[in-house]
Structure 1
Amino acid sequence: MIFARRIMGVETEYGITAVAGDGGRSLTPDEIARYLFRPIVEKYSSSNIFTRNGSRLYLDVGSHPEIATAECDSLTQLLNHEQAGDLVVDKLAQRAEEALAADRVDGRVYLFKNNVDSVGNSYGCHENYLVGRHLPLRSLGKQLLPFMITRQLICGAGMVGRATGGFQPGFVLSQRADQVWEGISSATTRARPIINTRDEPHGDSERFRRMHVIVGDSNMSETTFALKIGSTLLVLEMIEAGVTLPDFEMDNPIGHIRDIARDMTGSTPLLLKDGGTVTALEVQEATLAAATQWLEERPDEGTPTEELRRVVDLWTRQLTALRTQDFSQVDREIDWVIKLNLLNRYRERLGEDWTHPKLAQIDLTYHDIRPGRGLFPLLESRGMVERWTTDEAIEAAVDTAPETTRARLRGQLIHRAEELGAPITTDWVHLKVNEPESRLVELLDPFEPVDARVDELLAYLDDNAGSYRR
């Protein structure tokens, strides 16, 4: 079974802080999170909700706001909804600043789409890909691990790395490389794996699995995000189609992932289980070659093949840049390259090494999502980085669920219930009207955007419109 049309989603955790503008004390993350979610709790009596566009918004462990996008079935659709998440949480941050002002607290709220805070705590950007039940996740993971370990070369967010584990301070390609401890595991926080095998398909468990990828960085660049998701889609398609990929099973994948993060040439030698060696760049080049050939035969469903050709074009240019060390053809498109150029300009101006605190400040400001304040949003507004989508498409995704997946049904019910003031309960699979009588629909096919049972639920809401308190 080949899922050329594939359900996918992204979970983004945001770093949060508040700074007092009048010299007063800074609020704790827990305090500012309460301000941030105050309007959500007031409206829904919960800090864990599904929104009008079918996504899940909630306060995660550690006072991290998190958005899990609705089910998407194409690359640009997913990008639009991931970017819409930034607008949603930034709007909450602006309302929190207004609430602080009303309480006579001169505070600015900062939300960062990154993965490591100032004291080394890590929070994630998790990717979810639907795969067929016939594919055991562990065997699938073994085929994917070489690609995932080396993927940071093409889509890492980059960061100023601290001295750790025998490594000296310096620039690293990935924020998550030092934060994962296993290749494939059912754990998520105790021992973060690259691929999580916890079996939560959020659908028909006899047909589907959900592959949960934990190793990826949060991306500010739209084009880097597209390359991250698009390249992974192509590799998954090839595995499911039985395309023979080079055998790069590694002897110590977790040891290698840290080395790769500190080598922007891609020449890190990786020890293979068969006793041979291969470089990180060679793993990516071999995978790219297979993906380029796959484009000539893949079913043109889900993400359009022409869109994936854009992915392969950027993938090719980035690997060429790594091999030649001439990054001029990608320095407006790849997060870690964009950030490294900014940091190097400041290093030259400061005449300092990587330990200067100004560099850490620039690194953090790159991930501030507030337009007009964050460094990457500023570059974007000035046309200094490339775009993949449009502001109009992102704005539309704030309140509109994907029209081609199950999320459409969830969005329809949430919209109508909010209009009528009707009490409902939703999760990824279930839609429930609570009053006047409880009615429940279970949606086990995430591909299906139309369901007569949901039409009946909507009609039931309309029939009882007069009984709800607005």
Structure 2
Amino acid sequence: MFWRHPKDAQKDSLKEFSAILKSIRERLPLAPSHHALRWFLANGSSLSLEMGGSADLSTALIEIATPETRSPRQVVCYQLANEQILQDALEAHRPSQDWSLIKSNSDAYGHTLGQHESYDMRIAQGPWLIAWWIGLALLLLPLLLFRCLAALWLGSMLLISLGHRGLGMAGWGNDKTSASKLDSLQSHDCLLGFPMAPWQWILGAWGLRQLHAPIVWLFGLLLYTVALRPHRRNASAFLASRCLLDGAGYLDPESKFWISSRAATVDREIGFGSYNAHRPIFRCDPLLRKLLSGPYWSLTNFFELLGPIQRIEIAIGDSGMCQQSQWLRLGSTALVLDWVEQNPRVEAIQLRSPTTAIREYARDWMLVRSMPDRKGLEYKSRDLSRIYLRTLKSWLEKKSEVPREAWEIIELWQMTLNQIDAMPKNQNQPPMLLVGRIDWISKLWLLQQLGKETDWTVKKKIDIRYHELTSEGYFRQLLENLQLSPLVSEQEIQLAMRMPPAESPAWRRGTWIREFADSESKIAVSWEKASYELDGENYSVLFRR
């Protein structure tokens, strides 16, 4: 998400982030993390200022993440709740009536954003799990060497910084409560709690990158060789075609319409995103953070990599507005992943190049492009989606107990494909039954209401303001006119704005934040644990799954 600024306003993302945090704090307890630019809310969510690897704060974007949930519908509920939290905060402290929040898929600098989904996946099974453990054991010695060199590098950078500025000027080392940490965000000099100028942080980060490049390469090789083999073999074709169900639509600079902007940038099946600016389908950055982050004297995070279940991101989706589309994305993906893990030896359709297919399908709003599998057979995106739909339906029919939500997702999936199948027969007119339910269909319909000679800037305005979270946003206006029944009720959204999901790590995190957010103790929260100081002693609370 990002602010829409008036033309004459000078953007200061750090000040904006601080203002929105203070506004949220008036309504909801929150607590800092170990990272100065990430905070956790009492409903279990996380709010952060994402810099995208740049020290230029003017390009930073506000990012909010839902808490851990137990169902796809619950994720949608907390997405809507978080959007309302941000919108309420802006309404209370709006610098100008021309400012608003946009749930964006790209920014003014050409960066593609989108939405990351986190799933618990089985990293490997049987002999491949043993190979995973052996590979990690072989990484241990290089990891220890890296940590020694990294500690020396950071120590030298800190000495340079102290000599350049002095401890007193930076205010480093002072104990701060969560309230004073919030105030300190106004200072660029204390960006991450250390007395370093931006150029010093850039130099420090560059040095660390050179030091850990070999171990990242080795870890990437281990992932490519061993990790998620059934998922890559049997789920990649579904994920390549998934933009048909959840794309948000995009108008490119040549006035060509795409189904999805995020999916069109995918360049590999598995890998890291933030480290090397790649766009993988299976994004393993959480594993890389466990390998490289944390105290250099502790191997706790490293040993967590030995677990067979790991959190993996799927980072091919757009930030959409339609509740049904978001629900269908999460539900269909969860069903496919469950099917893959319960049937690891089943051979599904294997595309010759899933990454090429996903890029081609993302640009094919007329639904005519076909991509080959390894046997030479050609498939359109809707063909692949229907094959997976039938497979999952047959699989669920054989199970004794199936959640009601699973059948509801299957029903919505089938209805969506039936409507999309009719598009080529109707001169590529968007099916009205999907307007307001599927984002790319809704945006395409809005754009087609304009004349063919309409200027690109007018069309692009629709493309962008479709995602605006205020009542003036084009999707909100469209939804009001269509009067569609919402997937999630207003009462559920209001509850999710205050309370975390029950029976989840988020529930324990949210309860802890409510207890300690206003205390004078030094506290820090993460997804996995909370740390605090009481009577001079340090304590930690784990939020186990």
**TM-score, with structure 1 as normaliser:** 0.79
CA offset digits 1:78-126 (Å, max 9, x no partner): 11111111112222322441xx3xxxxx453221112112453212310
Match among 59, 69, 92 for residue 72 of structure 1: 69
Q: Deviations over 1:53-81 (max 9, x none)?
A: 11111111131111121111112211111
Do structure 1's residue 436 and structure 2's residue 423 form an aligned pair?
A: no
Kindly indicate whether the alpha-carbon contact (under 8 Å) linking 1:19 and 1:108 is maintained by their aligned counterparts in 2: yes
Write the distance in 1 (CA, Å) between the matches of 2:116 and 2:67.
13
For 1:180-329, list aligned pairs within 5 A: 180-188=266-274, 190-198=277-285, 199=287, 205=305, 206-242=307-343, 247-298=348-399, 300=401, 305-325=403-423, 327-329=431-433
Cα distance in 2 for residues equivalent to 1:298 and 1:434: 49
Per-residue deviation, residues 192-231 of structure 1 (Å, max 9, x unmatched) = 1121134268995424211211111111011100000000
**Larger mean Cα displacement after TM superposition, 46-55 or 260-269:** 260-269
Give the Cα separation in 2 of the matches to 1:122 and 1:29. 21
Seen in structure 2, the aligned counterparts of structure 1 residues 398 and 69 have a Cα distance that, compared at 3 Å, is same
Q: Alpha carbons of 1:192 and 1:297: their partners in 2 closer, same or farther (altered >3 Å)?
A: same
Question: C-alpha separation between the residues in 2 aligned to 1:67 and 1:277?
Answer: 39
Decide whether aligned partners of structure 1 residues 393 and 438 sit closer, same or farther in structure 2, where only a CA change above 3 A counts. Answer: farther
| Contact 1:380 1:386 survives alignment (8 Å) | no
CA distance in 1, matches of 2:512, 2:18: 28
Show the counterpart of 1:116: 106
Q: Which residue, out of 387, 393, 396, partners 2:495?
A: 396
Alignment CA distance shift 1:237-1:279 (3 Å): same
Q: Partner letter of residue 386 of structure 2?
A: E
Once residues 485 and 364 of structure 2 are traced to their aligned partners in structure 1, the CA distance between those partners, rounded to angstroms, is 25
Partner secondary structure for residue 431 of structure 1 = strand
**3-state DSSP class of the match of 1:126?**
strand
Equivalent residues in 2 for 1:51-62, closer than 5 Å? 51-61=41-51, 62=59
2:6 to 12, 15, 19: 19
The aligned counterpart of 1:364 is 464
Q: Judge conservation of contact 1:265–1:322 (CA < 8 Å) in 2.
A: no
Q: Deviations over 1:130-155 (max 9, x none)?
A: 12343532442332211111100111
SS at match of 2:105: coil
Distance 1:272-1:36 versus aligned 2 partners, 3 A rule: farther
Q: Is the CA contact 2:31–2:525 (under 8 Å) kept in the aligned structure 1?
A: no
Q: Give the direction of change, closer, same or farther, for the CA distance of 1:421–1:298 in structure 2 (3 Å limit).
A: farther
1:352 pairs with one of 441, 445, 453: 453
Change in 2 beyond 3 A, CA 1:193/1:316: same
| 1:413 has 2:512 as partner | yes
Find the aligned partners of 2:110 and 2:283 in 1 and give their Cα distance.
22
CA contact (8 A) 1:19 1:107 kept: no
AA at the equivalent of 1:122 = T
Contact kept, 8 Å, 1:181 with 1:191, in 2: the verdict is yes
Are 2:426 and 1:340 aligned?
no
Rounded to whole Å, the distance in 2 between the matches of 1:237 and 1:41 is 37
In structure 1, runs of 5+ residues without a counterpart are 1-13, 101-105, 164-168, 447-470
More helix by share: 2
Q: Which letter maps to 1:84?
A: A
Farther-moved stretch of structure 1 (152-161 vs 173-182): 173-182
- State the identity %: 23
SS of 1:273's partner is: coil
Task: Give distance in 1, aligned partners of 2:12 and 2:282.
Answer: 29
TM-score, normalized by length of structure 2? 0.69
Q: Name the amino acid aligned to 1:65.
A: I
Q: How many residues align structurally?
A: 409
RMSD: 2.7
Q: String of CA shifts for 1:318-374, please: whole Å, max 9, x gaps.
A: 2112222162332231111111111111x23xx426x5211110111110012x221
Contact 1:157 1:173 in 2 (8 A): yes
Tell me which amino acid in the other structure corresponds to 1:296.
Answer: E
CA distance in 2, matches of 1:356, 1:421: 54
- Alpha-carbon distance between aligned partners in 1 of 2:14 and 2:43, rounded to the nearest angstrom: 27
Q: What is the match of residue 468 of structure 1?
A: none
Deviates more, 1:414-423 or 1:332-341: 414-423
Q: Provide the C-alpha distance between the structure 2 equivalents of 1:437 and 1:77, rounded to a whole number of angstroms.
A: 40
Task: Please list the CA deviations of residues 432-455 of structure 1 after superposition, one character each: whole Å capped at 9, or x if unmatched.
Answer: 231224343453631xxxxxxxxx
Q: Specify the structure having the higher radius of gyration (Cα).
A: 2
Matches within 5 A, 1:133-152: 133-135=123-125, 136-152=227-243
